[in-house]
Amino acid sequence: MFRLLSKETNIFSITAMEDCDICLIDLSAFVQVAMSNPSYILALCEKTLTMFQHSIFNFISLAHNQVNGRIANVLIYLWEHVYKDSGYEFTISRKEIAEFAACSHENVISTLSRFKKDGIIELEGKKIGIRDFEGLREISKRG
């Protein structure tokens, strides 16, 4: 286990979308706790598998959905997993949304405008409110 956790090259990085506090834990202390607590390892593995599953679904979405579906997926993800509210103040830019959806900044702007015109979302500056969540889900499904 120690060898698995001590690789010098990380293949993933994480970026916080909001201000947050972090806690750095010494690897040897972590390994010591992990080795003496199998239920902790099981919970950690379950969390890791969930994260990988989200990554795989995101990859599939990017590969198979058109821009509308990808942007809908980003909005749904933010609503369900980050902001947990139907109206939220984006702390990420339209450019960053474009990076999440693997499309251009211009595509994000035009798609959000179209979603607004169709009554699916509200736009006010950086604030996005989801007015028709089921409509957004339908766009996500159709891709």
pLDDT tens digits, residue range 42-100? 898 898 888 878 778 777 777 778 999 999 988 888 888 777 765 666 667 888 889 88
pLDDT of residue 51: 80
pLDDT of residue 33: 86
* Listed residues 11, 35, 59: the one ending a domain: 59
Give mean pLDDT, residues 8-16: 70
The per-residue pLDDT of the chain, averaged, comes to 82
Alpha-carbon distances of 130 from 23, 53, 93, 120, rounded to whole Å: 34, 25, 17, 6
89 with 131, same domain: the answer is yes
Q: Is the pTM of this model over 0.75?
A: no
The more confidently predicted of residues 95 and 8 is 95
122 with 105, same domain: the answer is yes
Q: What's the total number of domains in the chain?
A: 2
In this predicted structure, the answer to whether residue 135 has a pLDDT above a threshold of 90 is yes
80 with 33, same domain: the answer is no
71 with 135, same domain: the answer is yes
Are the CB atoms for 121 and 131 separated by under 8 Å?
Answer: yes
> What radius of gyration do the chain's Cα atoms show?
19
pLDDT of residue 7: 61
Please give the sequence-ordered ranges of beta strands (E in DSSP) within 21-99, or none if there are none. Answer: 87-89
141: Cβ contacts below 8 Å, ≥ 6 apart: 69
49 with 72, same domain: the answer is no
Which of the four pLDDT bands, split at 50, 70 and 90, describes residue 2?
Answer: very low
pLDDT of residue 88: 61
| Burial of residue 109 (number of CB atoms within 10 Å: 0-12, 13-18, 19+) | middle
53 with 121, same domain: the answer is no
Range of the domain at 44: 2-59
72 with 134, same domain: the answer is yes
90 with 138, same domain: the answer is yes
112 with 133, same domain: the answer is yes
pLDDT of residue 30: 82
Residue with token string 């579906």: 69
pLDDT of residue 10: 67
18 with 33, same domain: the answer is yes
Determine the straight-line distance between the first and last CA of the chain, rounded to whole angstroms: 40
